[in-house]
Structure 1
Amino acid sequence: MLDNNNNTNYNWLKQTNTLDSINTFMLPTLSTQTKKTTSLIVDVDNTNKKSKTNTQTNIQNQQNDEEDDDIFRLKRRFLKDSGQLHDDNNNNNNNIKFLLFLAAYFARRQNEKKENEKQFLNEIKLKQENQVEKYRTYRIGELPDIQIRYSDIIIPLQALAQYDNHIARLLYASLFTSILNSLEDKLLPDEYFNLIQTIQHRFDVMLSQSEIFYPSFVAALLDIVLSKPEQIQISSQYISASTISSHLESVGILTIECFIRLNQQNESKQYINGPLKKKLKSDTDLNNQLYKKIDQWLELAKCYRSLANYDDVRGIFSQTPGLKSITLRAIEEESHTDFLLALNSYVTALEQYPLTDETLNDSILELEHEFWTQSMLNCCNQLNNWTIMSKHIFIDNTTFDTLWSNAHQLNYLMPYAIRAKLKLLITGNEKEQLEQNDLCQFFNNLSTNSNNTIITGNSETTFVKRSYIEKQYPFELATFFLYQKDFDRAKYYIQYAKEQFLLRWSTLSRLSEYDRKTTIQLIQPYYELDQ
């Protein structure tokens, strides 16, 4: 089968002609060995012929066995190559998927890296812009050796005040007081007196004509007043109205009590030492002094009553001269939460002591009359007596337009007017519902004119009205439109009411427990109306 005279064999595994001793698994052939040993001095074949014959026989048998092994080896190689081809196709698909996954992964990582670098550069830029570099330090009480401009101190504080209402309040009051102190030394006495009068008038205008009563701004104005109580004395009515509306009764009480204490000190000094020369003009008429005293005590009582502190209210009325006895009796009944008897007392007082042409010059009676009206409306609100409330508000051809024209009525009477009309519209009988047509017309006119694109004087006034009503009475608007089955507007206003509630809650002081307790009670009706 195998040619022993040939030096090469055909390798089926490699499919080439190669030497057996190098490229195959067989042993070297006899011819190869013979050729290699012919160069020896002693001829091995001639000396050992018998062993040579046996060796050839063994090699013949070994070659036969190796041929069988080659056949089996070829068979295994063929089966392996066919399976490997199928596996290679699967591996190629898997490799393609893996490469696509790697490409997407590294692309995503590259984008994330770029975003992180961009964010890092922005943070570095912001840090560089807002970085405060400290050049030198000073001990407490040591004056700096360089001149620092005021603007370099005010500008960073101004940036801080934009993010904190409390800081803004302190900064505004501190700057205003500092400027006022510097002007006191630089201006002449008459010029400074005129400046104080102008500031006092402007403060009265801002507090009397305010519609929102933002707590931080009101507190800043009163802080300025408390820093100069002997020079700046604004009306006690404006103080009580603004502090009650902004839930700053404690600041209003502190300011009014400071004015009362100063007036008492001035009276005692005048009684002992005679008249004193003062920069600010003082009232010389006794009636005006009594009116001013009663006005301050009544406004102080309103602030205490807003906090439900009736012990102090009773103490104020028991010590205040010139008041009617029925006022003290009504306060006693109201302090014991007997609102029905208190309501009857206030109604009786309004009927017995009406404001006529004869009593028009009685300023003290006018103060009491205003106090009776507000107390009567408060009792009606506690008793849910909307009929009497509406009757005493809408008298002498009073309408919503007339209430809007007067800032005092807008702050005191408008809340009760809208609430009474709305309650009667929803829960009243058929006759009472027909009488509340003015409320429907008032709300509908505001909503109808909101889409008017032509800017005129009337449309601008209507826009101001609508903005004010939406901010102050979103819950009432939501209830009204829900009653009219305008669900889209009702949903909008109830959501707006929630936002206004959160804004109002964020401005409340942590020390005003009564205001926080009464404000948190609004969550239930808001939630029920939303459902």
Structure 2
Amino acid sequence: MVAGLERSGSPVLLELLIRVLYRERGSHFLEAEVLLALQRTLTRQVCGETKQQQLIEAAYKCGATNQGLLISARLSLASKLLPLLLKSCSKPALHRFFVDNVTAMVDAVAAKIRHGSESELTSKIVALSCLEVLYSCCLKDDVTGKQSSVNAAFCRSRGIVDVVGNELTKEITKHANSAKKEVVRRDVEFADLWRQLRCAAYRLVVAVVSCTQTESQFYDVFVFQERPEKGEFLWNNLVDEKAVYTFPLEREVLFQKSRHVVGVTEGQVPSPSFSGRMAGSLRGSSLAQEASQYSLSASGLPVSRLKVMDLEDDALNGHECMASVCAVLCRMADLGIIPQTADEVAGLLPPKWLTFLTNAIVGNHTTRNALCFICRVVVNSAEVLRVHSRHLVPALLNVLAGDKLGSELDAFVIDVAVTVLMWASDWSLENRKTVGNDRDLQGFSELLAQRCGHERREVLKNNLELLRAWVETWRERLRFPADVVLEQLEQCSLDSKDHHAVLLFGIFVSNNLVEFGQSHASTARFLDKLMLLLPRALADFKVAVLEVLSLCCHQMEQPVGRLQGLGFLELLAHGDEKMQTVLLEICTKLVGAATEEDWGAILPVVCQLQGHTSGPCRKLVYDVCMRLYAKYRSKTSAAGLAKQSKHVLLVGLGDPEDSLRLSVANFWSQETQLPLKARERLVALLAGMHSPEIEDHFLSSVTFLLLELASRSPDYGRKLFPRPLSDCRFVDYAVTGSWRQRHAAMTPLFAETLSWSQSQSSTTTSQSTTTSATTDPGPMLRATQAELQFTPTQRGTSGAAATTAGSFNWLTQSTLESNLSGAERRRSLSILSFAPVQEEVLLGASQTSQKSKELGFLRRRFLRDEDKVRLQHIKREVRRKELRGEQERERRARREAEVTLYRSYRLGDLPDIEIPHSALVAPLQALAQHDQQVAQVLLTSIVKTVVKDGADLPELCRNFILVCWGLEAPCGCSGKGFSCKWPPELGLYKSLGDYDTVRATLSCSEDVDAKAKEALQKEAQGDYSGARDAYRNLVSSGSIWDDAVLQCCRLLGEWTELQREVDSRLARSAGNKWDRLWDGGYSEEHYLPLYVKSRVKTALELGSGEDQFLESIRQWLEDPARKRLLEAECVEELVLLFLLQKDMGKADYYVRCFAEQFLEEWSGLSVLTPALLEGKLESLMVLSDLAEYVKHHTRRASALEHKMDG
């Protein structure tokens, strides 16, 4: 049937379809599809203007006359099908339909209804709905004026000769306005039908006024006016008094909005291209079905005249007139009846329509449902009505405090309260003190305190946040509701998890509404109980307890001892990040209270946290060490504390975070730490600030601290050349330093140039106020980029920089904002805060918008189904994870590409010579911080300059040499210590196979024995036999030659000779010869591995004769300590030993140990030592052969065993 109607456009099929579709009460499940099919039918080419008019006529007759349809069916025609057909047809067809039927419609509207005539009521509703579409879809000239065909047809039917143009509009307005006031109390049976009639009449009045009028008085009288003293009610007539509206916070489905198209004229007409793009974007979406019902692009009707309202999908917003009232308020704003800004209404009396609205809200004549309707209109139109918020807020406060919207804290009450808060956030503090009634404000705050409890945690948290926002907004006019909070506290049970009363109390305490005296005794008792709870507290609650102790630790007696008894040090060493941050804050406050003995136990634990991954934790560690070093540096008894603190602060000079590194450097730059003269500071840096742990950043730190003195000089901002070239014409060259733009101006290629035409996209030029460029400026400079070993640059201001603590950077002459990699730690999730709320200042537009957005989050809805809630949380967490990933990528990209200029650039005929000294010093130091070679060159230049300027600097030279050689003795000591240092150095290079360095060292060492040089020369040439003989003559002069003899025997493969050499050395000691190898010292380290290797090799050559030694090895393996040493040093020999004894099980075990040892040693090698890599690869071949041998014998033994079993 639907397909046939779509192809033929037959009115008979349409009438039959209507009878089938609406033969039952309620909506048919295919109603939406049928409506879409009807819309497609009217837009097809087969359906011309005549066909469209015939279809509309057929549908209108079904609804307007009693042709066997149910009343519910005729009402559905009036509200759904007829408006759809009228809005979808072409403009000529629409005009022709109303020309033929407008008189009948007006007569139906003007007809007196008999008592109990249900059919006449329905016919009147149908006529009102059709006329509403007429004034919705037609322009003013189409319905009024002498050229209006519809008005002319009406005048002809009435016999009016002198046509003015507004006859139809006046007649319709008179009857519709009368109908919306008509109440027949004796017709109780059809009370709801009468209400629907009044709603249809009101919508028609709204459509007529919005289409034809632009003055405020018409909206005042026809749309908002009601006169209760005469019994003329508006809102009570529109809303069903018997309906029960509920607004639960917990919903069965997700929060949705429904789209309502109403008969109110839009303010502006968008372009057809925009409408086409909008339709294309909705194609395939969930809104396509709804939006397509009102698509008038094919018919030529003015789409822009249909006002679209998106309202929350609830029962009250689904009211017949809700969308119309909200839309007419928007129309009034478009016309300028409602101003755009609050300044336009400041000091003026409220308009009449607003007076009618507020009187209806506060009036006792308004029923509860009508009051809910009006409040919902205000909430939906909050942005439009914001300019009149000073007049609406008192009325809404009266409703909230009077408990007129219900006895529960439901979604509707929260929406109204949030609307009030959003409006109040725009006001100044003076306005918030004068608008509204204090009694109403206090009353609603008490209601919130009474009803905020909820069994669901999310809802409870939202209610508490609402109460906190309410109290923070109006705290100047509120008082502490002691009775309510006390009642809530009494209802709390220690066995229950619901402790929201405590949070209530915390809200009022944090806003300074609770007045109580200071009592040290009560504070001490409270802290005692709190400290008893600390060992049993878990997770966030333990952090919250520590936060309280951090705020009150200065009031405690012997705080360190009491905290240590509660496991303070264990928590500090092994707690999570939040806990460690709070504990470090406590440490910063204990600097004055703790003794030297106390810090002797605490400081080592604090110093261990210097390598913490969290930036805030490291910042607190540095704060503690700064305070301790400043306190104990001059005390001899606390030298250990000062030394530990100093070490941490020295390492902090190389902290990965710029802000922390700068803070530590500024600490050392203070006059109390380092002298303010370059010579004395250099001496102090070389004498007391060098340490092996800071070797990687020592050069850059020293240059930073030295050149910081230059920023204090008056010459730092002075120009290099005081006489500029006044005849040159210069143009400022501004580089766009946005990190989001990766353009050519950021490429650090100083040798290349860029033409003026190529730089237009990334640079802008500004003409000088005194001179202008008349020729092509030519080539330009380029800035540098962070990822290519250059520090970001920023234009710096000239002038001397005063040393300030904290994060002042003398390079840029500005304060560096802290941007730690880890997010700043938040306080615990509890609303309770012991810090008082600060007084608010006047907020800017962006801050106000952000605050309103945060308040809007309080209008949350919650899902009742746990599965749906879980799914919603999963989706939210996925979005958060994606957002965090995007922020991390953006942060990384910003760090790599952010550009800052240290100096400004200009273009001109000649080079710019107006360069300050700071433009040379700051970039050099910034580059030195990222390149150690540059730092070395820079420090060398500074030291040479200081030495050159000083006539006699023995202290400087002494400290400089101490740093270079790492010696604690003075420079005047004997050179004997040096002569005993080169043999270990030679042994190190020999183990690396670097004999070139060995020969070079021997040639440069004058105090080396000639025999030693000869022996080392022979070993370097590969003459191990001659080297062995030469080393034997040097054994008595040092242990290094003893090792050299044994190593030569090993390299020659003379295992028997190696065994004799070790036996001869062991014979000098008493006791068992083999037990002497385990002396725990020299013999165990030098002789044991080689001796075991030699005995195993001898046993392999002879095949027997080593049974006694092999038995000793078995005994050694039973000792765990000796077994570990043998497995670490002689694992290859153990494999060969057990293979010799045919013990394949143990041989296989030690082969696996051999493989693990090889992998571990291989992972620790570097490509910078190729000799060690090659030597290790040689052992890999041995390992492979042993593994294959053991595997072969294992398979062979298994095969033999299998045959014997068979």
TM-score where L is the length of structure 1: 0.43
Structure number with higher helix proportion:
1
Structure possessing the higher radius of gyration over alpha carbons = 1
TM-score where L is the length of structure 2: 0.20
